[in-house]
C-alpha cells in the first residue's frame, strides 16, 4: 500500500530512541533496481536543514539507491557537527548496502536545533537496525511510514497504477504546512522504466498542483523533501503523460491526507477561485484567503464571514474588480457583485469539509488551495510543541 | 488629552443605536480654523470601504473642516446604496456646520457588509445629535475616542507638544491589525500653522515608522484611515522637522496603545532586526517573523522557539547568510552563527513585554515591528465576532 507497492523496493521502520515515546523513528527505503533513477524537490526556504543541503547536492547525479529518514530531530541549525551527522548517516547506509554515499538521500524531521551527539548516535544505531530489517512487504512499508510521523496522528500512504507499472508513496506532515513545499517528507517509488529527467519533470508537474497548493498554516519548513525513485523492475517503459498522471494522483492523495491530519484543525477548507485571468492569479487570490487568520478563525466558529474573504483578496495584485466579485460558502452565494446576497444563516458550516468559491469574472483560469481553520487546538498544539 | 488638546477643535461622541449595547457610536471632530489644512493616509487594500472611497477623493483638496466617524458598521461592500449613505452623511454634517460636503471626512468601522437603511438612519441621527453636542473639552475628546471603539477595551488618546503648538490624537483598533495601515481609524489634530503639503509629508513620515510597523495579525483592513488636521489656532508656524517629530510621537504612542489592546493577546512583542543591509530588509525580516503563526503560538506558550524565527526569516529575500545569524529572546542569545547557544531555560517569557533580537550581520540598518502572540483568546474573539 505504500513505497513497497512498486516492485524493486524494500523498506524498514525501526525504533532508535530518538522519540522519547519509544515509537518508530528511523525509516530506510532501498531501491534494488535495476534502475536507480531519481528526482527530488526541496524546500525553497533559505534556512535549509543539513539533510536538505546534503540531499539536494547528492541528487545532482539523478541517481539514488536509498533514502534514510528520521523523526525526533530536524538536524537544522546544528552547524558543521550537524552536517557531519548527515554525512556519517549516508556513509553508514552506504556501507550496509555496499553502494556510494552519494547514492543515499537523507531526510530528517522534528524540532529545529536538535542534532547533538546523542541524536547522531541514535540515528546511526537506527541505520544498523533498519538495514537488518529491510523487507519488500506492505507491513514494512507501513512501518517506514510510521517511523517518519511527528505530530501526525496517522501514517499516510498512497498507491496508483499505470499500464504495467505502479507508483507508491508515503508522507509525513501535520504542521508548518505551506508551499514551497508543504512541510513534509514524502518518498514516492515506481517500478516503471524512466530516466531521471522524466522523473524530474513528472515530479515537478505533480507537486506544483498538489503539495504546493496545500497551505495549512502559512509557515514554510526548513526540511521539506519530496523524492521520486524509479527501480524499472516492472520492465514497463512508462508513457511520460501516464507516469505524470500516476505520480500526480499519489501526490494529490497524500496532500489530501496531510490536510485532513493538520494540527488542531476542525475544518478542511478548499478555496476554489474561478474565472481568474491566469492560473497564477487564481492561486494568489486563493492563497491570500488561506493565510487570513481572521477568515480561518471565523470558519472555526462556523461563521460565514464573507467580508474577511474580500478583505483578504483585496490585498493581492491579481486582475479583478473588487466590487464585481461573487463569494459562495458551501454553495450558498453570500456576496454578489460586491454586495450582500443570500442570508448568512442559509450556510451550514458544521461539516468538516468546507468549500469557498470565489468568482473573479476576469478570465477562464481556475485553481484551488487546500487549507484548514485556525482553532484553539492549533494554538495549543503549537504552543506546547517543544515541551 | 485627545483631539481637543490642540486649540481650534471641538468634538462630540454620542450614542445613535448603531451598537446594540447602546454605547457611544458616532463621533464628530470639527476644525474651527482659521486654517483647514489636512492630510490623510488610507488603506492600500483594493477592497476599500465606501467612506474610504469618499474621503480619499474629498481630501484631494488638501482641506477638511470636519471628520464624522461611526462604529457599529463598516459600510464596506454595501454597493451604491452604501456610497450614497456616506455621501448623505457628509452632506448632513455640512448642513449643520454651513460648510461644503467636500470638507467633511467620513470614517466607519465595524462588520463588513453592514450598511442597510437602518444603519443609514442611525448614522444620520447620530450626526444631528453630535452636531448639537460639540464642545472643546477633554471630556468631549474622550467621548469621541470612546465612540469609535469596536472590540477595543480602552479608548486611545495621545498628546505631544512643540514650540508654541500642540498635537493631539485618538485611535481605534484591536483586530485586523496589519500594515498599509494597521486596521484602525486615527484622527490627529494640531493647532500649528502648516500647509497641507507639510502635513502630508509629516504624516507619511510618521505613519511609515509607527502604524506601518504594527502587524498584530497580518490582516489588512478595508477601512483604515489616518487623518491629520491643522487649525493654525496657536498662531505658531511650526518648523517642519519639529512638527514631524511631534506627529510621530503621537502616532508612536497610539500605535503602542493599539498593540497593548490587541484582541486576545497575552504578549506584546517587539521584533528588532539589527545590522541589516537596508532598512527595508530589516522591516521585511521582522515582518516575516511577526506573521509566523508557529512563532506566535510558541510565544503564547512561553516557549523560546528560536528555530521558528529562523524558519520564518529564511522565507525572505533580504540580504544575509542564514547560517551566520544571532537570535536573542529577552536578551538571552539562544542562537549564535546559526547554531544553538545559551540554554532555552535561561529565557523568562512570562512577562507580557517580549523582545526578539535578530542580528543579520549584513550592514548597519535597523528596524522594529510590533506584534502580538497567537492565543486561544484571539481565536475565540475572532470566531465569535459576528455573533
Distance from the Cα of residue A184 to its chain's centroid = 4
Residues B192, B279 within the same domain:
no
| Alpha-carbon dihedral B259, B208, B228, B75, rounded to 10 degrees | -60
User: What would the pLDDT profile of A280-339 be if each residue is shown by its tens digit?
Assistant: 999 999 988 998 888 998 899 898 989 889 888 988 889 999 889 999 999 999 999 888
Contacts with A300 from chain B: Cβ below 8 Å: 379, 383
Residues B316, B359 within the same domain:
yes
| Structural domain includes residue A195 | yes
Interface test with chain B among A46, A150, A362, by most B beta carbons within 10 Å = A46
Give me the residue from B316, B382, B387 closest to A294, CB to CB: B382
B151 conformational bin, left if phi > 0, alpha if psi -120 to 50, beta if neither: alpha
Distance from CA of A67 to the nearest CA of B (A): 24
Contact B382 A340 (CB under 8 A): no
DSSP line for A85-120: HHHHHHHHHHHHHTS-GGGEEEEEBS-TT---HHHH
Number of domains in chain B: 2
The pLDDT assigned to B218 comes to: 65
Residues B126, B274 within the same domain:
no
β-pair partners for B353: B268
Give me the residue from B218, B308, B322 closest to A46, CB to CB: B322
| Structural domain includes residue A2 | no
Q: Which of B260, B291, B306 is the last residue of a domain?
A: B260
Give me the residue from B78, B297, B379 closest to A300, CB to CB: B379
| Structural domain includes residue A1 | no
Mean pLDDT, rounded, for A17-43: 94
CB B180 within 8 A of CB B265: no
- Taking alpha carbons only, the member of B16, B39, B43, B41 closest to residue B27 is B16
Domain containing A275 — which CATH number?
3.10.20.340
Catalytic residue among B183, B207, B222, B371: B183
Per residue, the 3-state secondary structure of chain B, as one string, reads: CCCCCCCCEEEEEECCCCCCCCCCCEEEEEECCCCCEEEEEECCCCCCCHHHHHHHHHHHHCECCEEEEECCECCCCCHHHHHHHHHHHHHHHHHHHCCCHHHEEEEEECCCCCCCHHHHHHHHHHHHHHHCCCECCHHHHHHHHHHCCCCCCCCEEEEEECCCCEEEEEEECCCCECCCCECCEEEEEECCECCHHHHHHHHHHHHHCCHHHECCCCCCCCCCEEEEEECCCCCCECCHHHHHHHHHHHHHHHHHHHHHCCCCCCCEEEEEEEEECCHHHHHHHHHHHHCCHHHHHHHHCCCCCHHHHHHHHCCCCCCCCHHHCEEEECCEEEEECCEECCCHHHCCCCCCEEEEEEECCCCCEEEEEEEECCCHHHHHHHHCCCC
Contacts with A337 from chain B: Cβ below 8 Å: 79
Segment (H or E) for A27: strand A26-31
Q: What is the Cα–Cα distance from A198 to A241, expressed in whole angstroms?
A: 10
Residues A348, A225 within the same domain:
no
Chain A 86-145, CB below 8 Å of chain B: which residues?
111-113
Q: Which of B243, B260, B277 is the last residue of a domain?
A: B260
| Structural domain includes residue B4 | no
Residues B235, B114 within the same domain:
yes
Residues A143, A173 within the same domain:
yes
Catalytically active residues of A, by annotation? 183
**φ, ψ dihedrals at B297, nearest 5°:** -70, -35
Q: Is B161 a catalytic residue?
A: no
Chain A 195-254, CB below 8 Å of chain B: which residues?
217-222
Segment (H or E) for A227: strand A225-230
* A266 reaches B (C-beta below 8 A): no
Burial of A369 (0-12, 13-18, 19+ CB in 10 A): buried
| Structural domain includes residue B233 | yes
* A382 reaches B (C-beta below 8 A): yes
Contact B385 A220 (CB under 8 A): no
| Structural domain includes residue B2 | no
Contact A220 B311 (CB under 8 A): yes
Domain assignment of residue B30, given as a range: 9-260
Residues 6+ apart with CB under 8 A from B318: B276, B277, B281, B282, B284, B285, B360, B362
* A53 reaches B (C-beta below 8 A): no
Residues B39, B67 within the same domain:
yes
Give me the residue from B78, B300, B340 closest to A383, CB to CB: B300
Residues A84, A205 within the same domain:
yes
* pLDDT average per 10 residues of sequence, chain B (387 residues): 91 95 96 95 84 94 96 89 96 97 94 88 98 96 93 88 92 61 76 95 92 73 86 94 94 88 87 96 92 88 89 88 92 92 94 96 94 85 61
Segment (H or E) for A252: helix A240-260
pTM: 0.80
Distance from CA of A113 to the nearest CA of B (A): 6
Q: What is the Cα–Cα distance from B286 to A3, expressed in whole angstroms?
A: 41
User: What would the pLDDT profile of B248-293 be if each residue is shown by its tens digit?
Assistant: 999 999 988 888 887 788 999 999 999 999 999 999 999 889 988 8
| Structural domain includes residue B189 | yes
Chain B 320-359, CB below 8 Å of chain A: which residues?
322-323, 335, 337-340, 344
Segment (H or E) for A57: helix A50-58
Domain containing B55 — which CATH number?
3.60.70.12
Interface test with chain A among B311, B325, B350, by most A beta carbons within 10 Å = B311
Residue A251 has what DSSP assignment? H
- Taking alpha carbons only, the member of B338, B358, B329, B290 closest to residue A47 is B338
Residues A249, A297 within the same domain:
no
Residues 6+ apart with CB under 8 A from B268: B259, B260, B262, B352, B353, B354, B370, B372
Length, in residues, of chain B: 387
User: What would the pLDDT profile of A210-268 be if each residue is shown by its tens digit?
Assistant: 888 787 666 677 778 889 999 999 999 999 999 999 999 999 998 888 888 877 889 99
Query: In chain B, which residue's Cα lies nearest the Cα of A116?
Result: B340
| Structural domain includes residue A239 | yes
Residues B48, B107 within the same domain:
yes
Among the ranges given (A21-30, A46-55, A60-69, B166-175), the one the predictor scored with the smallest mean pLDDT: B166-175
Residues B176, B274 within the same domain:
no
User: What would the pLDDT profile of A107-166 be if each residue is shown by its tens digit?
Assistant: 998 888 888 999 999 999 999 999 999 999 999 999 999 999 987 888 989 999 999 999
What share of chain A has pLDDT > 90, as a percent?
A: 64
The pLDDT assigned to B246 comes to: 94
Distance from CA of A43 to the nearest CA of B (A): 10
Mean pLDDT over all residues of chain A? 90
Q: What is the Cα–Cα distance from A186 to A107, expressed in whole angstroms?
A: 9
Contacts with A315 from chain B: Cβ below 8 Å: 45-46, 220
User: What would the pLDDT profile of B39-56 be if each residue is shown by its tens digit?
Assistant: 998 887 777 889 999 999
Q: Which of B205, B238, B260 is the last residue of a domain?
A: B260
Distance from CA of B158 to the nearest CA of A (A): 28
Residue A212 has what DSSP assignment? G
Taking the alpha carbons at both ends of chain A, their separation in whole angstroms is: 34
Chain A 281-310, CB below 8 Å of chain B: which residues?
291-294, 297-298, 300-301, 303, 305-308, 310
Residues B237, B277 within the same domain:
no
Amino acid at each position: 500500500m505504500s513505497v513497497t507497492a512498486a516492485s524493486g523496493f524494500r523498506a524498514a521502520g525501526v525504533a532508535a530512541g530518538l522519540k522519547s515515546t519509544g515509537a518508530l523513528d528511523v525509516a530506510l527505503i532501498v531501491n534494488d533496481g535495476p534502475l536507480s533513477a531519481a528526482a527530488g524537490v526541496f524546500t525553497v526556504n533559505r534556512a535549509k536543514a543539513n539533510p536538505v543541503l546534503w540531499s539536494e547536492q547528492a541528487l545532482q547525479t539523478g541517481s539514488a539507491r536509498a533514502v534514510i529518514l528520521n523523526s525526533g530531530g530536524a538536524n537544522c541549525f546544528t552547524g558543521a557537527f550537524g552536517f557531519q551527522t548527515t554525512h556519517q548517516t549516508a556513509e553508514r547506509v552506504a556501507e550496509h548496502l555496499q553502494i556510494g554515499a552519494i547514492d543515499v538521500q537523507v531526510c530528517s524531521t522534528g524540532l529545529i536545533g536538535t542534532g547533538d551527539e546523542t541524536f547522531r548516535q541514535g540515528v546511526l544505531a537506527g541505520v544498523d537496525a533498519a538495514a537488518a530489517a529491510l523487507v519488500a512487504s506492505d507491513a514494512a512499508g507501513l512501518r517506514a511510514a510510521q517511523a517518519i510521523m511527528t505530530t501526525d496522528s496517522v501514517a499516510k500512504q498512497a498507491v496508483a497504477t499505470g499500464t504495467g507499472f505502479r507508483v507508491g508513496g508515503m508522507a509525513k506532515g501535520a504542521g508548518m504546512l505551506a508551499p514551497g513545499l508543504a512541510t513534509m517528507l514524502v518518498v514516492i517509488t515506481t517500478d516503471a522504466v524512466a530516466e531521471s529527467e522524466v522523473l524530474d519533470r513528472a515530479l515537478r508537474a505533480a507537486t506544483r498542483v498538489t503539495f504546493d497548493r496545500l497551505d495549512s498554516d502559512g509557515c514554510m519548513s526548513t526540511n521539506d523533501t519530496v523524492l521520486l525513485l524509479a527501480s524499472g523492475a516492472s520492465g514497463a517503459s512508462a508513457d511520460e503523460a501516464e507516469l505524470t498522471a500516476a505520480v500526480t494522483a499519489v501526490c494529490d492523495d497524500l496532500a489530501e491526507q496531510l490536510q485532513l491530519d493538520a494540527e488542531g484543525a476542525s475544518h478542511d477548507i478548499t478555496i476554489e477561485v474561478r474565472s481568474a485571468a491566469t492560473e497564477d492569479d487564481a492561486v494568489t487570490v486563493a492563497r491570500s484567503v488561506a493565510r487570513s487568520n481572521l477568515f480561518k478563525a471565523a470558519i472555526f466558529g462556523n461563521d460565514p464571514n464573507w467580508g474577511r474573504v474580500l478583505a483578504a483578496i483585496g490585498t493581492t495584485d491579481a486582475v479583478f474588480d473588487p466590487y464585481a466579485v461573487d463569494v459562495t460558502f458551501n454553495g450558498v452565494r453570500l456576496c454578489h457583485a460586491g454586495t450582500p446576497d443570500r442570508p448568512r444563516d442559509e450556510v451550514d458550516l458544521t461539516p468538516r469539509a468546507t468549500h469557498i468559491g470565489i468568482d473573479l469574472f476576469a478570465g477562464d483560469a481556475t485553481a484551488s488551495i487546500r487549507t484548514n481553520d485556525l482553532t484553539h487546538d492549533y494554538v495549543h498544539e503549537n504552543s506546547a510543541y517543544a515541551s
